[in-house]
Amino acid sequence: MNESGQQPTVGAFPVHRDSRGVLGIAEFGSLPFVPRRFFWIQGVAQGETRANHGHRECEQLVFVQQGSVAGFTIDASGDRVEFKLELGDWVYVPMRHWLQLNLFSGNAVVGVFASLPFDASEYISSPEELGS
């Protein structure tokens, strides 16, 4: 938990499958924040990790568009939340939480909604910095 009482949360977007393919839906009104940025991650080599940082102010919602990914968050008190996400699943990462993504399936595509535009100066580079 961070100083505002927010905790990581895992959930899922509605995913509809039929003979035409798969349709996933994200209603922005149901997100924990209004997104200001979207980016995606794909083509991660086996054994590699992504994220490996936290944010001082930015909140993120990480979700799987294809394949699967695992990972964990750590808060300032050292509490760790582990997760495994598959198609349509998401994890909400509050500000001041460390995030690592790992165990990407070979075909994984991971989308991220962020509450703020990119700003490298607000990155937290180690879990030990979460409380500062």
pLDDT of residue 49: 97
Encoding tokens for residue 57? 């102010």
Rounded-to-integer distance, Cα 55 and Cα 63, Å: 18
For the chain, domains (ranges, CATH) are: 33-129 (2.60.120.10)
Yes or no: say if 91 and 9 are a contact pair by the CB < 8 Å rule: yes
Task: Give 10-residue mean pLDDT values along the chain (132 residues).
Answer: 72 89 86 94 96 97 97 94 97 97 97 96 93 74
pLDDT of residue 2: 52
Say what the pTM is.
Answer: 0.90
pLDDT of residue 14: 86
pLDDT of residue 3: 59
Element (H, E) at 93: strand 89-93
pLDDT of residue 25: 86
Residue with tokens 């909400």: 92
pLDDT of residue 6: 81
pLDDT of residue 104: 98
SS (H, E, C) 2-69: CCCCCCCEEEECCEEEECCEEEECCCHHHCCCCCCEEEEEECCCCCCCEEEEEECCCCEEEEEEECEE
